[in-house]
Structure 1
């Protein structure tokens, strides 16, 4: 699986492919610029000779990276893989060195650094959240909170005072950090799985969320009250006939189980936030495009900016520190797309025609030459709640 690395504060400064990733010290898009890159790899756990003999005929699964986080200071990098390992790298002079590998009780789903960079917060697929020390390598992790279902995203406030967690059951929980047994509030209102959380940097009391119910919402997380809610309107998609036809092809690959079409069509898959323009880019599970919305800091509302039509559902989207939008598509000759703000209109993005001249993209193609063959993966079926209709023929059967 290919994806960009984004710590929600720095912007895109890396790229992941399978069990390897590449990072750049200063993310920029200068045509003639040079990048200082770091290539790192998650090394699989070693096996004993006895294990090798027993499993000599067993094919070992690919040890893909599940999640990566970068500290705000860019001095530490953390990653987790399919083999339930937590890796920590530290910057020594001009390069990163692996300083610890710790075992996790379950496979990680999301991980982030605290803003101070002193701890790594890990949520696993069982709904538990653990705290790992960056300085104490012998620390096996402290359980700080738990949900009864899969936690889909985690975020921490600017001063590390509050930890926000959300789950498949449409709940957002705000916990005091690090004493997360003290629940500060709940933000309730979404009708389906929550796909992402962001604490807005320009207002320390506002939390942004997106969901499979097709809505974007702003919350006063301290009081747990909703400030603004926006439902992604169908007319945005239907304005482009070519896009609508392409989306039908994408839908055919999904399960034919009955779903709420209004919600499924606009179920949010991924959101990336741009600090420079106070804007978010939104991708979807069943729609082949990216929607751009400005988040107005005074009125605390969403203003529609633009819809970018694509040929397939994006694998990954991310803004860099300069406000350039990067998009990865599967099965294309040129899978990486770039969009930049127009000089005359800061609220409109245009596609960069020749991305190969950009040093970041050149480095990605060099690092991952088989990126054109990477297949799309979609976890929509796992996250989406199943809707069952009453079946009279089965419910009303008489027991003989």
Structure 2
């Protein structure tokens, strides 16, 4: 699974164990970081690994990464339980490698860029200092279920967490034991969160139930719910029973556009933001893609980049013009720079083409107890019916034998 982010002048992607950074404005060498060659876990930390309860074998696959608002810092976490912090100015360099307790699922920087928060599989959130890059992490809060997404309000006042059990929790960042609200209503795991640009009071959530919801997160009030299956499958010859897990929600920097991607589906759904007294999303156009997308991002110019599972056409660039999203000219310098860089690094990506759903094991397992009950009841009734038939047959045979014996006795007496 490849992931894509763009902040400032940087186009950053990760796949497998490798992070790749491309400068969109200047002709500079790629920055490539391979976790397989990163600092190894100290032996004295083995106890932490054992306490993690994981029988899984560690590898160097990148699980999550984030870029700070200014683009000056990047953090990644991998399957080896490393948290690696980078600075990008004046040039890319690794600031520190620290260790997390569990495998992480989501990473986010504070707006002030002084801390980075990581959410993990056990349901905990830890904070790590950016200003003190060697300082160990501190536990901030916990869920009883696996965390899948974490976000911060633009003023860094609230931390918003989403888990496998359909819950979205809003907590005070500096006092996370104080819960401000819950946003409840999804029927499957919550896989994506976004506080859209220009709308600091709202959070968007996507789920394995195929819906996109808009919340006023401070009160937990739901403002809108959109069934993506109805929109995406409109006039499409696609299996209507297919599961739709929202894998990505992004906002353009100007706050006018929202793009939503559903896992393994070759399209991107765009929405226009109607910012009246309350935020309302209006379905706009659907961009049909030639191949399944891995990920997407908006750049600082509000252009939409889509990363595809294809070596020949590995990335597409769209711009909004005259109320319509159109494909950019392939001779665009930024697009050329990115396309050539990704082709040169395609060995990093090719192993992730066509992988199975990352959400496959998160869906709730439904048991049809009534069907099982009715089947067993039918089997029991048939068994009882067979017993009665057998019993009636036995009685009939006894009666016939008795009648025959009586007839034989009468004949003997007559003789």
**Which TM class, normalised by the smaller chain length?**
0.7 to 0.9
1:329-385, Cα deviation, whole Å (9 max, x unpaired): 22453232222223xx1x321223536852222222233356456423321212222
| TM-score, scaled relative to structure 2 | 0.78
Unpaired segments of 5 or more residues in structure 2?
44-56, 381-415
Does the C-alpha gap of structure 1 residues 266 and 161 become closer, same or farther in structure 2, counting only changes over 3 Å? same
State the shift of 1:6 in Å.
4.7
1:2-61, Cα deviation, whole Å (9 max, x unpaired): 221357xx5972121322222245x45xxxx63564333333444899xxxxxxxxxx87
Partner of 2:302: 323
| Two-structure CA RMSD over aligned residues (Å) | 2.8
Q: Does 1:201 align with 2:197?
A: yes
Q: Does 1:336 align with 2:329?
A: no
> Match of 1:382, SS?
helix
1:195-245, Cα deviation, whole Å (9 max, x unpaired): 21111332322111122222212111111111122222525424244xx3x
> Match of 1:292, SS?
strand
Partner of 2:52: none
Q: Does 1:305 align with 2:293?
A: no
Q: Does 1:362 align with 2:340?
A: yes
Counterpart Cα distance in 1 of 2:244 and 2:32 = 36
Does the C-alpha gap of structure 1 residues 395 and 112 become closer, same or farther in structure 2, counting only changes over 3 Å? farther
Partner of 2:272: 294
Partner of 1:181: 177
Question: Quick one: higher RCO (CA 8 Å, sep 6+), 1 or 2?
Answer: 1
Partner of 1:272: 250
Counterpart Cα distance in 1 of 2:291 and 2:283 = 22
Q: Report the count of equivalent residues.
A: 359
1:114-163, Cα deviation, whole Å (9 max, x unpaired): 11111110111111101111223442211111111111110001111000
Matches within 5 A, 1:22-37: 22-25=20-23, 27=24, 34-35=27-28, 37=30
Cα pair 1:270 1:284 within 8 Å, conserved: yes
**More divergent stretch after superposition (187-196 vs 161-170):** 187-196
Which of 229, 234, 245 aligns to 2:225? It is 229
Cα pair 2:10 2:21 within 8 Å, conserved: no
Partner of 2:325: 349
Cα pair 2:264 2:293 within 8 Å, conserved: no
State the shift of 1:291 in Å.
0.8
Counterpart Cα distance in 2 of 1:279 and 1:156 = 20
Cα pair 1:331 1:374 within 8 Å, conserved: no
Matches within 5 A, 1:6-45: 6=6, 13-25=11-23, 27=24, 34-35=27-28, 37-42=30-35, 43-45=37-39
State the shift of 1:190 in Å.
1.4
Which of 153, 160, 163 aligns to 2:149? It is 153
Counterpart Cα distance in 1 of 2:281 and 2:344 = 38
Counterpart Cα distance in 1 of 2:189 and 2:22 = 33
Counterpart Cα distance in 2 of 1:88 and 1:322 = 26
Counterpart Cα distance in 1 of 2:331 and 2:209 = 34
> Match of 2:233, SS?
helix
Looking at secondary structure, tell me which structure has more helix per residue: 2
State the shift of 1:386 in Å.
1.9
Partner of 1:54: none
Cα pair 1:165 1:172 within 8 Å, conserved: yes
Counterpart Cα distance in 1 of 2:243 and 2:168 = 23
State the shift of 1:265 in Å.
4.1
Q: Does 1:83 align with 2:114?
A: no
Which of 55, 60, 63 aligns to 1:63? It is 60
Counterpart Cα distance in 2 of 1:99 and 1:155 = 23
> Match of 1:316, SS?
strand
Counterpart Cα distance in 2 of 1:372 and 1:47 = 28
> Match of 1:115, SS?
coil
Counterpart Cα distance in 2 of 1:98 and 1:370 = 21
> Match of 2:92, SS?
strand
Q: Does 1:214 align with 2:210?
A: yes
Partner of 1:140: 136
**More divergent stretch after superposition (216-225 vs 379-388):** 379-388
